[in-house]
Amino acid sequence: TQLLEQSPQFLSIQEGENLTVYCNSSSVFSSLQWYRQEPGEGPVLLVTVVTGGEVKKLKRLTFQFGDARKDSSLHITAAQPGDTGLYLCAGSTVGSNYKLTFGKGTLLTVNP
């Protein structure tokens, strides 16, 4: 059973601060996705990383995939209240029949 350990589970910060969310596993993933979900809505795909060591940027968000493809991080610079939401990492392995393994999520609150 593949597990994705996501931390922290809860994070409350002030506007303008930086933060990092981590996802770690003992399993190797062929790809890893990050999603953001707002209350009462479905998750929205932010990014997919597939290559070990890959770094992707999406405005103030920076995503990194570990060299061994077992871990990933999401860094947000100068957080804004609009960044508030549940952030989910999800990994896919070869032969998983397209299923994703989800982390437990990070509930981020950015206070103005």
Partner 1 sequence: GAVVSQHPSRVICKSGTSVKIECRSLDFQATTMFWYRQFPKQSLMLMATSNEGSKATYEQGVEKDKFLINHASLTLSTLTVTSAHPEDSSFYICSAGGQRATNEQFFGPGTRLTVL
What does the binding site for partner 1 look like in residue numbers (CB under 8 A)?
6, 30-31, 33, 35, 40-45, 48, 50, 86, 88, 90, 92, 96-100, 102-105, 107
Select 19 or 107, whichever has its Cβ closest to partner 1. Answer: 107
Task: Report, in Å, the least distance between residue 109 CB and partner 1.
Answer: 11
Distance, CA of 24 to CA of 13 (rounded, Å): 23
What are the structure tokens assigned to 3, written together? 């597990």
Shortest distance in whole angstroms from residue 3 CB to partner 1: 12
Residue 93 CB, nearest distance to partner 1 (Å)?
9
Locate the DSSP E strands across 50-99. 55-58, 61-65, 71-76, 85-92
Q: How many CA atoms lie within 13 A of 35 on its CB side?
A: 17
